[in-house]
Amino acid sequence: MTAMPPRNFDPLHFCVAPCISKEVRSQWIATAAYYKAERRGFIPGYETQDWREAELEIEVRLADSF
């Protein structure tokens, strides 16, 4: 007989964040930054801000997956 995981066990929350490669994480950040720039009409001068905000959003979402 094998032990069953708890009812509230979510395998995605258990594995997703640690399993994300640096390349995939970077792609997610780049995509999020792109959409931020698009919403602003691609006005130049905000690239670093877009990247940092996107990076923070992705990090928060990955941290929430634990």
Higher-pLDDT residue of 43, 13 = 43
List Cβ<8 Å contacts ≥24 apart for 11-17: 12/65, 13/65, 13/66, 16/62, 16/65, 17/62, 17/63, 17/65, 17/66
Once rounded to an integer, what is the mean pLDDT over residues 40-60? 96
Tokens encoding 26: 């970077």
Confidence of residue 9 (pLDDT cuts 50, 70, 90): low
Helix axes 47-64, 11-19, angle to 10 degrees: 140
Is a pLDDT exceeding 70 seen at residue 26? yes
Within the chain, where are the H helices? 11-19, 22-39, 47-64
What does the pLDDT read at residue 24? 94
Domain positions in the chain are: 11-64
What does the pLDDT read at residue 41? 97
